[in-house]
Structure 1
Amino acid sequence: MNVLETNRLMIREHSYNDIAKLHQIFSNPLTMSFWPAPFTLQQTETWVKSNIIRYHELGFGRWSVLLKETGEIIGDCGIVISEIDGKQENDLGYIIHYPYWHNGFAVEAADACRNYAFTELKFNRLCANMPYNHAGSRKTAEKIGMTKEKEFYNRRNRDIRTFLYSIATSQ
Structure 2
Amino acid sequence: MRATDTLHRQATLYTDRLTLRPLTLADAADVQRMAGERDIADMTRIPHPYEDGVAEEWIRSTHAEFEKEEGATFAITLREEGNLIGVIGLGSKDAQGAAELGYWVGKPYWNRGYCTEAARAVLAYGFQELCLNRIYAYHFKRNPASGRVMQKIGMQHEGDYPKEARKCGIFEDLVLYGILKSDFGTI
**What is the TM-score normalised by the length of structure 1?**
0.89
Identity %: 27
Segments of 5+ residues of structure 2 without an aligned counterpart are 1-9
- How is 1:51-66 mapped onto 2 (pairs within 5 angstroms)? 51-58=62-69, 60-66=71-77
Counterpart AA for 1:65 = I
Segments of 5+ residues of structure 1 without an aligned counterpart are none
CA 1:22–1:80: 2 relative to 1, 3 Å? same
The question of 1:48 aligning with 2:63 is answered no
Q: Answer with 1 or 2: which has the greater Rg.
A: 2
Q: Which residue does the alignment assign to 1:141?
A: 150
Match of 2:23 among 8, 11, 14: 14
Q: Distance in 1 between matches of 2:164 and 2:61?
A: 22
Q: SS of the residue aligned with 1:93? A: strand
Q: Which residue does the alignment assign to 1:169?
A: 181
Q: Distance in 1 between matches of 2:81 and 2:36?
A: 22
Shift of 1:92: 0.4
Q: Distance in 2 between matches of 1:52 and 1:133?
A: 31
Q: Distance in 2 between matches of 1:19 and 1:69?
A: 21
**What is the CA RMSD across the aligned residues, in angstroms?**
2.0
Q: Which residue does the alignment assign to 2:83?
A: 72
Aligned residue pair count: 167
Q: Which residue does the alignment assign to 1:24?
A: 33
Q: Distance in 2 between matches of 1:112 and 1:74?
A: 16
Q: SS of the residue aligned with 2:56? A: helix
Shift of 1:156: 4.7
Q: Distance in 1 between matches of 2:19 and 2:166?
A: 30
- CA deviation vs aligned residue, 1:126-161 (integer Å, no higher than 9, x gap): 011010011110000000110110111323544210
Counterpart AA for 1:159 = F
Q: Distance in 1 between matches of 2:129 and 2:108?
A: 31
Shift of 1:42: 3.5
**What is the TM-score normalised by the length of structure 2?**
0.82
- How is 1:81-160 mapped onto 2 (pairs within 5 angstroms)? 81=92, 90-152=99-161, 153-157=163-167, 158-160=170-172
Q: Distance in 2 between matches of 1:50 and 1:131?
A: 24
Shifted more, 121-130 versus 28-37: the winner is 28-37
* Runs of 4+ that moved beyond 4 A: none
Q: Distance in 2 between matches of 1:59 and 1:133?
A: 29
Q: Distance in 1 between matches of 2:173 and 2:70?
A: 31
Shift of 1:82: 8.9
Shift of 1:169: 1.4
Q: SS of the residue aligned with 1:2? A: strand
Counterpart AA for 1:169 = K
